[in-house]
Amino acid sequence: MIPDHQERRGSRLPVAVYILGAAIFAQGTSELMLAGLLPEIAVDLGVGVPQAGLLISGFALGMLIGAPILAILTVRWPRRLTMVGFLGVFILSHIAGALAPSYGVLLATRFVGAFVYAGFWAVGGSTVLSVVAPDKRGRAMGIFAGGLTVATVIGLPAGTWLGQQLGWRGAFWAVALITIIAAVAVLVKVPRLAVGDAPRMRTEVAAMRNGRLWLSYALTATSIAAVLGTFSYLGAMVLDAGLAPELVPLVMLGYGIGALVGMTVGGRAADTRPMAILVASFAGVAVLSVLLGVAAGHPAWLGVLASLLGLAGFASNPALNSRVFEIAPEASRLSVAGNISAFNAGISLGPWLAGLALTAGAGFAAVPTIGAALAALALLLLGVEAAARRRASARRSPQMTPRAIIASATCRNEDTFAPRT
């Protein structure tokens, strides 16, 4: 029986899923918008652009370590109030950031904001999985994580535009405002789960020993690195191909729209054919990355291939998010938290490897080639994990002796010819 806080089969997803996705959008806008505001921040605070870029690295570091730590510390806390608390700290960090008198203070606020944002991902993700039926988890996680995809399409350009019009501090105030709205919606619309729904830490830690879970984390990090390495240098590739600078936002928009479509399609497929969508996504990223490497100097193809890369790359996200719960259902918070850290490890790994290639003197064509190699590695890891799953399934299946098989067949035959009463 599905608990009262879960949806009934065939019904629409609970409004709480969309509310939590909107909260991810509000926070994700902050995560992404700094890429377009670094020059303004550098001038205002008297630092170089590379030093300002460490604000992005500081945010990634906060998310990397925040997810598992907060998942452990808050495991017995009420989920709804915990998420509202995280949003409250996130709001305060952005108010402090908007008022920051120095670069050091701003860097600290970015780390704190990312730390609680990662905690929201962990608790929010486990909440989404708890309020929907098992056959809707992939779709629900697609909507939840899709908040970040919408932030890529809308939040990133909107935040950059606001920063250009009102100054970068104005963009921080805007994020604080929309996060306040999200916090009120979470408090009003997200159900209060029973205490019995909260996992025990000893159970969660024990479930984390599952080798398949860590294979899945490696799969997440590798597949995300395959896409994000290319995306990080997409603007530079467009300029290197000879396109006008004003066309760069259009190429980015195409990538974002592709990512949104991929997340939508992948969310529905994750519930019925998770393995098929993962294979198609990784293979698609590998092929498209090779084509991008070939087309690096041909402007006409870059925009189309970038959109398709966004579609293929993000189609796997719902399945990557929901499968950890299937592998380790007893670790509903820690498994999701570990996957968030894996995502951020991939976000850091892809651009780092691409940067190494460029520093070594390789051209921009080498960047998507690295992405293709990482996608091929993801396919290999997926095969290893599938084999591990089959072995685990075989161990759980009861082994019947020949005598038991004969006895079973005899019973069936006797039932068949028994007189009807």
Convert the pLDDT of each residue in 135-189 to its tens digit: 787 788 778 877 877 887 777 777 777 877 888 899 999 999 999 999 999 999 8
Could you give the percent of the chain with pLDDT greater than 90? 26
Note the pLDDT of residue 327.
79
pLDDT winner (highest mean) among 14-28, 181-195, 300-314: 14-28
pLDDT at 37: 78
In 3D space, the residue among 6, 314, 315 whose CA is nearest the CA of residue 131 turns out to be 6
pLDDT given at position 416: 38
Please report the pLDDT score of residue 201 as a whole number.
66
Q: What is the pLDDT of residue 397?
A: 57
pLDDT tens digit sequence for 313-330: 989 888 887 787 777 777
Give me the pLDDT at residue 253, please: 78
49-87 residue pLDDT tens: 667 777 877 887 888 888 888 888 887 788 899 999 999
Q: How many Cβ atoms from other residues are within 10 Å of residue 388's Cβ?
A: 16
pLDDT number for residue 27? 92
Say if pTM beats, i.e. exceeds, 0.75: no
Of residues 194 and 231, the one with the higher pLDDT is 231
Torsion sign across C-alpha atoms 314, 212, 335, 270:
positive
Average pLDDT of the chain is 80
Distance CA 124, CA 83 (A): 7
Q: Take residue 207 and report the two structure tokens written for it.
A: 């479930």
SS3 408: helix
SS3 content of the chain, % helix, strand, coil (to 5): 85, 0, 15
Mean pLDDT of 219-242: 82
Q: Which two tokens stand for residue 291?
A: 């084509």
* Domains observed in the chain: 12-198 (1.20.1250.20), 199-394 (1.20.1250.20)
What sections of 273-331 are H helices per DSSP?
274-294, 299-315, 317-327
Structure token digits, residue 96: 């402090």
Predicted confidence band of residue 372 (pLDDT cuts 50, 70, 90): very high
Q: Indicate the pLDDT class of residue 200, thresholds 50, 70 and 90.
A: low
In this predicted structure, the answer to whether residue 354 has a pLDDT above a threshold of 60 is yes
In the predicted model, is pLDDT for residue 421 greater than 50?
no
Tokens standing for residue 143: 């909507």
* Best CA proximity match to 351, nearest among 57, 1, 110: 57
Q: Hey, which of 247-251, 355-359, 408-412 has the most confident mean pLDDT? A: 355-359
Which pLDDT score, from 0 to 100, does residue 111 have?
Answer: 93
